[in-house]
Amino acid sequence: MSPTSGTATGLLVDGAWRTGDGEFAVLDKNGGEVAGRVATPAPAQVTAALDSAARAAETDFPVGARARTLRAAAAALRARRDAVIACYLAETGFAAADAATEFDRTLSVFELSAQEAERLTGEVVPVQALPGHENSLCLTQRVPVGLVVAISPFNAPLSTVAHKLAPAIAAGNAVALKPAQLTPLCAIHLAEALLEAGLPAGRLQLLCGSGATVGEQIVRHPAVRYVTFTGSTEVGRRIRAACGLARTHLELGSNSPTVIWPDADLDHALPLVVRAGYRKAGQVCTSVQRLLVHERVAAEVAERLAVLVGALRYGDTRQDGVEVGPVISEDSARRAETLLADAVDLGARVVAGGGVKESLVAPTLLTGLAPEARLSAEEAFAPVVAISTVGSLEEAAGRANATRYGLQAGVFTKDLDVAFWFARHLRMGGVIVNDTSSYHPDSMPYGGVKDSGHGVAGPRYAVDDMSDTRTVVLRLRPPK
């Protein structure tokens, strides 16, 4: 059964939708009904898809055609907005506002990537300054890396897929995409839009299934030159070990802190903290999980946040006004429950929420999080924010850095000296001043350090990373 137009099966090989050797059901995360069925490939079909992409990568794809294709795909996607959002709501369980925001961001990523295709260029290298090279001309070109494997997560089935597909196409590559098995329906819509836009056959292969089968096979194909993966640190390590000399971009786990300094504008900061901590049920890599609050304002922050969090409506996001839906699975909810219990055992106090039922975790706020609690170091990926009180710059930075992760951090302060002190001392890929760790316009460089991975997203930076430098030298002679 098609999850989208009536023809797409979820298995796209060499420009055509195929039947596989099986299928799996995609469930509505609110009600548990079947939202769609998606074909799974046989191992031979995975190989055929990668072989097709490798052949396509050897053909010419002019930059003008790349930009036109991306813009036409955005138009095709815009025309099916209602159908895409319906799939998004069903397969994620997120709120309607999250769906609308992510849809619009996806269109923006396609346009930004089209612009990068049009401005992709090299440079002139001044070798003439070196003795013996006075009559030489050295320049560089940016050329496609070739075959890109893109593996996307469940929590952003539109925008993160776009951040992988669109820059890869803008750079002139062929792509084999494996979306998350829990949320593949939006990726199928994206593939259909690219086909409607005239993307040449073979330049996009779509392979749905588990990471242990499909994912493991595609990263080991010898023609793969680049792997972009968003997911857990543990899987990222396995991919890095499996893909040989292929270049990798890995966006992995996180436990993002946000600091509130005594001079912060709380009327500005606290609504942003609530949005960043609980949107998508806390299932965002940059969600505010740890809130490090200066002792002078800690009581006020906790009191005001408890009111804001307690007012959040949670449950079935198909109901009007519900802002926080279920987490992706009951296993994820049970893990969050375990982390909450551990924090409480070590002295934390629940001041809002705390309940867990099946896959629904009530929006939860804790105070008094101990440094040794698992929530201080691990990623909850649930609607949970924990407050720790700090008394100095050094203590705040020490608590923020006391985790193996380093994606982004937020700092609320009016003092530029304080802001830049944190920018120097927080070991993160990004430090956001006067917004939360979750701030992320699509054009900015976005990536982590330590166990949060390496490489940066953002169309300009991804296009550059998904292309190679080719050096061209002209050894000129005086004309006769």
Per-residue confidence band for 1, with pLDDT thresholds at 50, 70 and 90: very low
- Give the tens place of pLDDT for each residue, 84-132: 999 999 999 999 999 999 999 999 999 999 999 999 999 999 999 999 9
Q: What share of the chain is helix, strand, coil (3-state, %, to 5)?
A: 40, 25, 40
Band (pLDDT 50/70/90 cuts) for residue 4 is low
CB-based contact 55:200 (threshold 8 Å): no
Residue 462's closest CA among 113, 11, 151, 206?
113
Q: What is the pLDDT of residue 8?
A: 85
Contact of 18 with 9, CB cutoff 8 Å = yes
How much is the mean pLDDT over the chain? 96
CATH superfamily of 12-252+454-469: Aldehyde Dehydrogenase; Chain A, domain 1 (3.40.605.10)
Which of 2, 20, 3 is CA-nearest to residue 11?
Answer: 20
Q: Which residues on neighbouring strands pair with residue 433, listed in sequence order?
A: 411
As a whole number of angstroms, the distance between CA 137 and CA 127 comes to 7
**Smallest Cα–Cα separation from 164: which of 178, 146, 184?**
178
Q: Tokens for 254?
A: 């996180």
pLDDT of the residue at 5: 52
184-216 as b/e: b if 16+ CB within 10 A: bbbbbbbbbbbbbbebeebbbbbbbbebeebbe
Task: Say which DSSP state 127 is in.
Answer: G
pLDDT at 6 over 80: no
Task: Decide if pLDDT at 3 tops 60.
Answer: no
Tell me the C-alpha distance between 195 and 252, whole Å.
30
Q: How many whole angstroms separate alpha carbon 216 and alpha carbon 239?
A: 8
Question: Per residue in 152-165, pLDDT tens?
Answer: 999 999 999 999 99
**How many other CB atoms are there within 10 angstroms of residue 444's CB atom?**
14
Q: What is the pLDDT of residues 13-35, one digit of tens each?
A: 999 999 999 999 999 999 999 99
Per-residue confidence (pLDDT) for residue 7, from 0 to 100: 77
Give the pLDDT confidence score for residue 53 in this predicted structure. Answer: 98
For residues 156 and 183, what is the distance between their CA atoms, to the nearest angstrom?
A: 9
In sequence order, what are the residues at sequence separation of 6 or more whose Cβ sits closer than 8 angstroms to the Cβ of residue 153? 160, 180, 230, 231
Specify the pLDDT at position 448: 97
Q: Which residues are catalytic?
A: 251, 285
* pLDDT, tens only, 201-229: 999 999 999 999 999 999 999 999 999 99
The proportion of the chain whose per-residue pLDDT surpasses 70, expressed as a percent, equals 99
Distances (CA, A) of 173 to 23, 121, 206, 223, 473: 29, 16, 15, 12, 25
Can you give the pLDDT at residue 2?
43
Lookup: tokens for 345: 């055992």
The domain locations on the chain are 12-252+454-469, 257-443
Report which secondary-structure segment, H or E, holds 388.
Answer: strand 384-390
For residue 398, pLDDT over 80 is answered with yes
State pLDDT tens for residues 433-471: 999 999 999 999 999 999 999 999 999 999 999 999 999
Burial degree of 125 (CB within 10 A; 0-12, 13-18, 19+): middle
Give the pTM. Answer: 0.95
DSSP state of 347: T
Q: Quote the strand ranges of 89-246, DSSP E.
A: 124-125, 136-144, 147-151, 174-178, 204-206, 224-230
**CATH class of the structural domain 257-443:** alpha beta
Question: What per-residue string of b and e applies to 329-343 under the rule 16 or more CB within 10 Å gives b?
Answer: eeebbebbbebbebb
